[in-house]
Structure 1
């Protein structure tokens, strides 16, 4: 799933942050940061049934 959100090559400054993503919660934080205050199109939630 992480690869889907990999920044394009033109956004080199985001690659360092992207490489530090270790789990879905990190990915969620990255997506929110990348949105820069705009509405986030994706929501990652924890499945409470697991």
Structure 2
């Protein structure tokens, strides 16, 4: 649970401490990881 608090503080520092804010921060963290992974995959993919 402490990780969720840290994610909320990182992604949404001015948002209120609500379950919705925690859920949004968790979603943003997962989305960011997915986007970064896709960017790395595209960077190392063979050219067309």
Name the TM-score, length of structure 2 as normaliser: 0.39
Bigger relative contact order, structure 1 or 2 (CA pairs below 8 A, ≥6 apart): 2
Larger Rg: 2
From the two aligned structures, give the one with the greater helix fraction.
Answer: 2
